[in-house]
Amino acid sequence: AQSVTQLGSHVSVSEGALVLLRCNYSSSVPPYLFWYVQYPNQGLQLLLKYTSAATLVKGINDFEAEFKKSETSFHLTKPSAHMSDAAEYFCAVSGRAVQNEKLTFGTGTRLTIIP
Amino acid sequence: AAGVIQSPRHLIKEKRETATLKCYPIPRHDTVYWYQQGPGQDPQFLISFYEKMQSDKGSIPDRFSAQQFSDYHSELNMSSLELGDSALYFCASSPPGLTTGANVLTFGAGSRLTVL
């Protein structure tokens, strides 16, 4: 079974600073990996996904993530934080063996932006 | 673009009552997933349906049941409600076939259930 671990339940960065949210996966084979964002009282919105086409994945709102097999990581980054980035971020994983495979989420990281 | 529609958005029930949540997937999506997100928690997978048949089951209590209908909408029925059932319930849908090499779920805005 696949799982993801998000390091740091809360991260605070200053506006304009680099955002780095950490995610490590556990899987016997390279899985599919995703980052979702959840704004207060809203649903989950897909930021980006890794499907093995390229290890560096670009998503919406200038976010990107790099798949590193040697480190079993899929960290999310953004060069310059905006106030509007304040939200909860979830890393998620699914397997390749079954069509319509469900997503399994990490415990989430709450990102706070300091003005 | 059409999204996943969930209703109701908010629901307040008393303990031991019954609640029904509805989910309308994106047109031509054939798989529906239900997740439960408690306060400050990550979304937990409950159950999924593919072509109107249950395809996977997670940590869904026996008091809960769900089904997918011929028009692909799904309903989550919750009986004998407990205080701990208070949560945000998400529905997601995904399209047929692995067109991009990964099964991408699109989530609805959620239904917030409060049990008093």
pLDDT tens, position by position, B102-115: 678 999 999 999 99
Residue with the bigger pLDDT between B1 and B8: it is: B8
Closest-CA distance of chain A to residue B13, Å: 19
Contacts of B98 in chain A (CB under 8 A): 99
Mean model confidence pLDDT for chain A: 92
- What is the pLDDT confidence band of residue B100, given thresholds at 50, 70 and 90? low
pLDDT in tens, B68-82: 999 999 999 999 999
pLDDT of residue B104: 85
* CA distance linking residue A45 with residue B100, whole number of Å: 18
Closest by Cα among A20, A44, A29, A47 to A94: A29
Q: Which of A27, A100, A104, A105 to mutate to test binding with chain B, by most B CBs within 10 Å of its CB?
A: A100
Say which of A32, A42, A102 has its CB closest to residue B33: A102
- Count of H helices and E strands in chain B? 0, 11
Task: Give the start-end residues of each E strand in A1-115.
Answer: 3-7, 10-14, 19-26, 32-38, 44-50, 56-58, 64-68, 73-78, 87-94, 104-105, 109-114
Q: Say which DSSP state B52 is in.
A: T
Residue with the bigger pLDDT between B99 and A109: it is: A109
Say which of B43, B55, B58 has its CB closest to residue A100: B55
pLDDT of residue A2: 83
Contacts of B97 in chain A (CB under 8 A): 99
* Residue B71, H or E segment: none
* CA distance linking residue A34 with residue B106, whole number of Å: 12
Helices (H), A1-114: none
Is the separation of the CB atoms in A91 and A23 below 8 Å? yes
Is the separation of the CB atoms in A60 and A69 below 8 Å? no
- What is the pLDDT confidence band of residue A41, given thresholds at 50, 70 and 90? confident
Please answer yes or no on whether B58 and A102 come within 8 Å at the CB atom.
yes
DSSP secondary structure letters along B2-44: ---EEE-SEEEE-TT--EEEEEEPPTT--EEEEEEE-TT---E
Residue B99 has pLDDT above 60, yes or no: no
Please enumerate residues of B whose Cβ is less than 8 A from a Cβ of A: 31, 33, 41-45, 48, 50, 55-56, 58, 90, 92, 94, 97-98, 100-110
Q: Say which DSSP state B56 is in.
A: E
pLDDT of residue A27: 84
Mean model confidence pLDDT for chain B: 92
* CA distance linking residue A65 with residue A15, whole number of Å: 20
pLDDT in tens, B32-90: 999 999 988 999 999 999 989 999 999 899 999 999 999 999 999 999 999 999 999 99
Please answer yes or no on whether A52 and B48 come within 8 Å at the CB atom.
no
Touching check for A97 and chain B: CB below 8 Å? Answer: no
- Residue in this structure with the two tokens 């939200």, named with its chain if needed: A87
Helix or strand or coil: residue B80? coil
* CA distance linking residue B77 with residue B67, whole number of Å: 9
pLDDT in tens, A42-90: 889 999 999 877 889 999 999 999 999 999 999 999 999 999 999 999 9
Residue B116 token pair? 């008093």
